[in-house]
Structure 1
């Protein structure tokens, strides 16, 4: 309890989550009197990163930077506009289509939220959309990131659970399609009621010029789905493809831009991996203290029914996802939950991966304390409460898909 209070106190001081996790681990060691564990902290930091699967993270971060600097991201938005056509609320549909395309590249809710709010919201506001609606649609689309492959959370889950990452990617296709379809229907209904403007294509960027950008998500998904490359290899090759397109096809990038791109990608990857290492360190301390076993016993004693267990687990994970970033939450919860789910309730680890990753991502935008809501508010300048009201219908649709995935594993 003292460690939990200490972690909450460190977060109120606006410390980075990675630092707060590391200090909480040290506090827990000191509280228990296991000071000999301090001798192993450096080794555990390194051990937490010794996984080939984690190499995919910096490569996909590099891919995102290359897409942004090379003009592929802007062309995907133009391509989406051409696909949607002149329909009521067309730019809102374009934002969602672009979110789906970027979800196949970035794989991170926070990363996608950051990119799309900067790229799509200003265009929607200039076209006459209310800013709160524009931000809510963009935030809702970002919920697709952990479901549509290649998902950063799926990569981490596969590393922790020791299950094939390609199987997780395949399992996310139908739930991702269902969420996307539900969001399209909600946007169409809202567009008619609010009389949103009719969409138009970008005349300055013909559709044929945008098509090469589509090669990037197609290459990533197909190379993994058909077993031609591992997620790590696909991320590296796709990053090279994005750089080549930016340099020699789109010509939005120069060779002089490469050091800046690699530096930003390295800094972003360092932050994520520092977070992963700190969370792994705290998970090691918690396991040493026997806390996961206590939590598992509490959940196991609540019910003998796998269905009731999954429903209770959804509530628990949503609560965790509201107050924690998905990556450390995933690293802390999977070692506790997965053995219980597979050994006692006979649940499939791939099925559990979908349930856990979807819950943690949806928690980011769940009122009243969803961290993603405040990130969207900070990036857009719109009050978080106003965004929360607009995003609730999309959350309800995503929750419906989540419950369906929980109760009917055939959906994956």
Structure 2
């Protein structure tokens, strides 16, 4: 009850988890729990895989400061911007480019809102539509590798982070293609504007300018798929490449490095504190044997794994409307994991489903953080953005259901590299 009350009055989720957990420990007066709590909090962070989170965040900050982001957007615009509705397609494709580097939907939504919304509005698109397509496209960030949600899920479950990264490639492209279909349908009715066709000279110049920037996603994906390095090592290599390219482009300055490092530390600390408090909350849930109760309830409803996955999807979509994705992941995964063995569901397939599901929560009111970020940056009324996002939200749910019941679409690439 305390958890729900604090959540409803708007206290940050990390503090809600901390206050609720500490209140329980104090009220129950269980010495065993009190003495074990610090160890449980520390053990949540004592995982080498989590090192990838600050490294990928640093890579994203270096990219943004080094002018890599705007060159990727400019590259997409030059090649397809001259088609009717081209700039809307650019928003999707540019987000897919950036997804292979940033791994955070919130960071990508904030960054692209500053870049794409003013540009699209200048071309004649409505501010609401521009904001909606920018926000919707940003949810591919936690799906196309690298992904912070996959890293956290892998550390919680022991599932291979490399397999999770590979499993996210096809779903990420399916989401992007689904949004392109929605734009095409809307374009047919509304006749979106188009830009002037770029000359061949401009096309070639843009291509050569973006080539160094493309080294980062290529290195990350090829390195992991080829078994050259681990996801954590790929994050470190991405930082080095982003640092070098930033100076090659002559936009990354030494005087900017303190701000870049400070932003990385603040963002990392926010996620780290959330992991710590959620781990303590999960410890209490396990002590109360809630996972066992949930397992018994689910088995009482149906023994069919497809029915179980459908029920989990409905449950997670509802949870995503009120709970942050990372917090929900850390709290719910220990509850749901015992059921995967019972229903014989591949943990990598389930990881992709749960991460996409919780990412969709960024688009859903009332607590969709992506909605608040984009409405604030783009200066769009929250309710107008909610209405504009609905077609894209519907497509995201359709893709989620396809991936839920078509396991081969998710597991095709991981299985390819196992054979």
TM-score range relative to shorter protein: over 0.9
CA displacement 1:262-299 (0-9 Å, x = unmatched): 11111111111111111111101111121222222222
1:83 to partner: Cα distance: 2.9
Q: Please state if 1:377 is matched with 2:375.
A: yes
CA displacement 1:334-353 (0-9 Å, x = unmatched): 11112212x21111111111
Q: Contact (CA 8 Å) 2:123, 2:194: kept in 1 or not?
A: no
Q: How does 1:160-309 map to 2 (within 5 A)?
A: 160-200=156-196, 206-247=206-247, 249-309=248-308
Inter-partner Cα distance in structure 1 for 2:112 and 2:126: 16
Inter-partner Cα distance in structure 2 for 1:371 and 1:48: 24
Q: Contact (CA 8 Å) 2:322, 2:366: kept in 1 or not?
A: no
TM-score, with structure 2 as normaliser: 0.92
Q: Which residue of 1 aligns with 2:417?
A: none
Inter-partner Cα distance in structure 2 for 1:388 and 1:68: 28
CA displacement 1:62-97 (0-9 Å, x = unmatched): 011001101001111011112324101111111111
Aligned in 2, Cα 1:374/1:35: closer, same or farther, shift over 3 Å? farther
Q: Contact (CA 8 Å) 1:324, 1:371: kept in 2 or not?
A: no
Q: Which residue of 1 aligns with 2:56?
A: 60
Inter-partner Cα distance in structure 2 for 1:201 and 1:40: 65
Q: Contact (CA 8 Å) 2:81, 2:87: kept in 1 or not?
A: no
CA displacement 1:97-149 (0-9 Å, x = unmatched): 11001111111221211111122111111222100000100111012112211
CA displacement 1:215-266 (0-9 Å, x = unmatched): 111111111111111111111110111111111x100011122122111111
Q: Which residue of 1 aligns with 2:312?
A: 313
Aligned in 2, Cα 1:200/1:265: closer, same or farther, shift over 3 Å? farther
Give RMSD over aligned pairs: 1.8
CA displacement 1:144-197 (0-9 Å, x = unmatched): 112211111111111111011111111112111111111112112222322221
Aligned with 2:103: secondary structure?
coil
Unpaired segments of 5 or more residues in structure 2?
Answer: 411-419
Inter-partner Cα distance in structure 2 for 1:30 and 1:290: 19
Aligned in 2, Cα 1:85/1:138: closer, same or farther, shift over 3 Å? closer
Inter-partner Cα distance in structure 2 for 1:149 and 1:208: 24
Inter-partner Cα distance in structure 2 for 1:15 and 1:313: 26
Q: How many residue pairs are counted as aligned between the two chains?
A: 406
Partner residue of 1:48 out of 20, 44, 47: 44
Inter-partner Cα distance in structure 2 for 1:200 and 1:216: 30
Q: How does 1:72-221 map to 2 (within 5 A)?
A: 72-200=68-196, 206-221=206-221
User: 190-199 vs 262-271, which deviates more?
Assistant: 190-199
Q: Contact (CA 8 Å) 1:81, 1:200: kept in 2 or not?
A: no
Aligned with 1:323: secondary structure?
coil
Q: Please state if 1:26 is matched with 2:22.
A: yes
1:12 to partner: Cα distance: 4.3
Inter-partner Cα distance in structure 2 for 1:52 and 1:100: 27
Q: Please state if 1:361 is matched with 2:345.
A: no
Aligned in 2, Cα 1:278/1:200: closer, same or farther, shift over 3 Å? farther
Aligned with 2:321: secondary structure?
helix
1:300 to partner: Cα distance: 2.1
